[in-house]
Structure 1
Amino acid sequence: MKLAILSRNSKLYSTRRLVEAARERGHSVRVLDPLRCYLRISAEGFGMHYKGRPIAGYNAVIPRIGASITRYGTAVLRQFELMGSFTPNPSDAIARARDKLRCHQLLAAQGIGLPVTVFGDNPDDTVDLLSMLGPPPHVIKLNEGTQGAGVMLTEKPSASRSVIEALRGLYANFLVQEFIAEARGADLRCFVVGGEVVATMRRQAPKGDFRSNLHRGGSARAVRASAAEQAAAVRAAAVLGLGVAGVDLIRSRRGPLVLEVNASPGLEGIEEATGLDLAGRVIDHVAAAHQPLRRNAA
């Protein structure tokens, strides 16, 4: 298999592990910076150059597209798709996952549990918006934040109004959600590959914080997700169209609730916590999934 990995930095842990796993399995692999890919689009076909030279013929592409380059990165990935490359996470699926509001709408429409969420734009409606949610604490999230950045907890109505007004003054897009106190600052990261939860870690927020992200100082250990939690994670990834996903859940009195679906889940924390070769699972899934495409093309 001729494989491309879209990543801005070949030295990142997740990118390195995917390269190692692909080479261990005898595949040809190359890391491509999506910002150095440029595209030719015409009725006669699609072409691409990378650092001044034409590139083509990749059987599969694994996207590791950061939030800051979602728009251009997904355009590059879409070009690969149009040129016949398989990807476990299509460009449209990544766009759905990155937009938290759109993601929550799609999940809720399929009956997948999530924290009650409200969204509004007009500052005159802030009080009514918060009344739709209920009393604080409230969790306020930037619509495209990652790794716990842009997530705030407010404990009084006045604090919620102040944060909302400040974010509107910055023309930021954000959501407001109920706070699930019984989670006690913990969540689960379920790593989904090919419609199966292949690993789960429980992340615990550090003392004095409610965000459990490892980038925020949280701790992690391997756990086994319940059948209901695994089902929720698999369904969430499927609804968004992702073959590889990190689905973040919290345990609540009404069952597992989906917080976020990550289309470029990091490997370092969960491989370290579980001791599993998850990069290898991703490569094996991609290698198996692209075979039917190759036979159909033939």
Structure 2
Amino acid sequence: MNILILSRNSRLYSTRRLVEAGRERGHQVRVIDPLRCYMDISPHRPEIHYKGENLEAIDAVIPRIGASITFYGTAVLRQFEMMGTFPVNESVAITRARDKLRSTQLLARKGIGLPRTTFGYSPDDTDDLIDLVGGAPMVIKLLEGTQGKGVVLAETRQAAESLIDAFRGLNVHFLAQEYIREAGGADIRCFVVGERVVASMRRQAKEGEFRSNIHRGGQASVVRITPEERTMAVRAARIMGLNVAGVDIIRSAHGPLVLEVNSSPGLEGIEKSTGKDIAGTIYQFMEKHARLGKTRTRGRG
């Protein structure tokens, strides 16, 4: 197949592994910067151009779109979908997962276990927002944050009130969330491809930190997940509409809870901790499912 990887940095581990794995399986694989793509949005012959070249006869696209370019990156991906190119993850699923509020509401509507979460606008409701999640300590998350950025632990009620006031003063949106103390700064990343969890790792936050993200110094190790956790991860990815997803689960006294569903999960931590060829597994999925025009976006506007 002729495959494009949408990535701003070809030197990133995940991008490099996807190139290597694809070429090892006999595919033509090329990395292009989505910000250098531009589109001819025509009803009968939509096109994408890249540095003066008309990109044609592309069988599949692997989006590795960073959060900072979600708007433009998904517009490029949507154009490929209009042209009938198969996307590993569709544009609508990526934008759905990137919106923390929307994704939390969708998961809650389908009965997925979550930490108690609140969202509000008026300063007059701050006390109730804090009480609804059980008071301090509590977690406050910016809706635009990624890789643990914009996620703050307020250890006291006064700290929570000050953070909420500061975020409102900056005119940014945030979620207030229950702090799961018994998790001990650890979560589980379940890597979902298609309808199954193909690998999972436990991420432990470094001492003095509650965020377990690898980018924040968290340590990864192999973990055995329960059937309930496995089912929950697959369901969460399906609700988002993602074929490839990193589902972050935390173990609470009341059972597993989903923290987040990531539409562009990194490969380095999961491959190195488990020894599994996750990039190759993604290509296996593509080889089985990639067909011209096989996208829900085509013809639906």
TM-score grouping bracket, smaller chain normalisation: over 0.9
Alignment of 1:238-257 (within 5 A): 238-257=238-257
Deviation digits for residues 65-107 of structure 1 (CA, Å, limit 9, x no counterpart): 0000000000000000010011121000000100111000000
Deviation digits for residues 34-59 of structure 1 (CA, Å, limit 9, x no counterpart): 00000111233311110111112111
Structure 1 segments (4+ residues) deviating >3 Å: 291-294
SS at 2:84's partner residue?
A: coil
Q: Kindly provide the amino acid, as one letter, of the partner of residue 126 in structure 1.
A: T
Shift of the alpha carbon at 1:287?
1.6
Cα distance in structure 2, aligned partners of 1:9 and 1:274: 25
Structure 1: 5+ residue stretches without partners: none
RMSD: 1.1
Residue equivalent to 1:59: 59
Shift of the alpha carbon at 1:208?
0.8
Residue equivalent to 1:154: 154
Residue equivalent to 2:210: 210
Deviation digits for residues 208-244 of structure 1 (CA, Å, limit 9, x no counterpart): 1111111111111011211000000000000000000
Residue equivalent to 1:2: 2
Cα distance in structure 1, aligned partners of 2:119 and 2:45: 41
Residue equivalent to 1:23: 23
Alignment of 1:5-154 (within 5 A): 5-154=5-154
Cα distance in structure 1, aligned partners of 2:81 and 2:48: 12
Q: Kindly provide the amino acid, as one letter, of the partner of residue 240 in structure 1.
A: M
SS at 1:146's partner residue?
A: coil
The percent identity for this pair of structures is 63
Q: What is the TM-score normalised by the length of structure 1?
A: 0.96
Shift of the alpha carbon at 1:130?
1.7
Task: Answer whether contact 2:85 2:292 (CA < 8 A) is retained.
Answer: no
Q: Kindly provide the amino acid, as one letter, of the partner of residue 72 in structure 1.
A: Y
Shift of the alpha carbon at 1:134?
2.2
Deviates more, 1:20-29 or 1:283-292: 283-292
Q: What is the TM-score normalised by the length of structure 2?
A: 0.95
Residue equivalent to 2:233: 233
SS at 2:290's partner residue?
A: helix
SS at 1:45's partner residue?
A: coil
Task: Answer whether contact 2:93 2:241 (CA < 8 A) is retained.
Answer: yes
